[in-house]
Amino acid sequence: MASIKEKLLYLQEAGITHLVPRGEASPVASSAEPSAPFPPADDDPWEALRREVFSCQLCSLHATKTNYVFGEGDRRAKLMFVGEAPGADEDQEGRPFVGRAGQKLTEMIKAMGFSREEVYIGNIVKCRPPNNATPDPKLRATCFPFLQRQISLIAPQILITLGNVPTQTLLETRDTITHLRGHWGSYKGIPLMPTFHPSYLLRNYTVETRKAVWSDLQLVLALMKDVSR
């Protein structure tokens, strides 16, 4: 049997310099705080993103807007709608799609068998451009990372882009919505269906445009049905 001296030498060579007697708690273990069962609220990536948006001053729009429009809906939504930017009504309320175009979008969502609370609605740009101007490429590039993080956190099954700006931004193309609608695209592996913006429907409320949008939405419903099988 090896002597105590030989055992200690062996342990020392193995890098073990401290022995805890049986029944005695380790000094480190006894002073360590038990791990929290849930991370603190500050570690919530969604709330962290919200704080970033509400403190953003990366472009000139922060100085002219009334409210940031973060987006709203189910954070685990299977279906996510992406618009262009807030309008006057959205700027006042701090919510996306609450004006006339928002009412039309709500009709579209209900026609698909959902409520607004069951989907997620966001925009490429979080602040209203003055006079409802189309966001230029620089504004889109500045604000788009916020939406990218939202999409990543929500991880929807399908994206629906409303109009030229969100479609061209997410698909990285210059093709117009007239050519792209009704055809599947993909954003980071997520199926994407481009369709007309609700405001376009209000300006061009014809049988043809309504049929086109409903056809696009039916394609989405068919894919959602296949995915859920």
CATH number at residue 105: 3.40.470.10
DSSP string for 177-223:
HHHHTTS-EEETTEEEEEE--HHHHHHS--HHHHHHHHHHHHHHHHH
**Whole-number Å distance between alpha carbons of 69 and 84:** 12
Could you list the pLDDT tens digit for every one of the 229 residues in the chain? 445 555 445 445 545 444 444 444 433 333 344 343 444 455 799 999 999 999 999 999 999 999 999 999 999 999 999 999 999 999 999 999 999 999 999 999 999 999 999 999 999 999 999 999 999 999 999 999 999 999 999 999 999 999 999 999 999 999 999 999 999 999 999 999 999 999 999 999 999 999 999 999 999 999 999 987 6
Instruction: Give the count of domains, the chain.
Output: 1
Neighbours of 54 (CB within 10 A): 13
Query: What pLDDT score was predicted for residue 176?
Result: 98
**Whole-number Å distance between alpha carbons of 134 and 112:** 28
Decide if 147 is inside a domain: yes
**Whole-number Å distance between alpha carbons of 79 and 99:** 21
Task: Tell me which residue range forms the domain holding 138.
Answer: 44-228
pTM: 0.81
**Is residue 4 classed exposed, middle or buried when 0-12, 13-18 and 19+ CB atoms within 10 A define those classes?**
exposed
**Whole-number Å distance between alpha carbons of 71 and 32:** 41
**Whole-number Å distance between alpha carbons of 63 and 179:** 36
Query: What pLDDT score was predicted for residue 9?
Result: 52
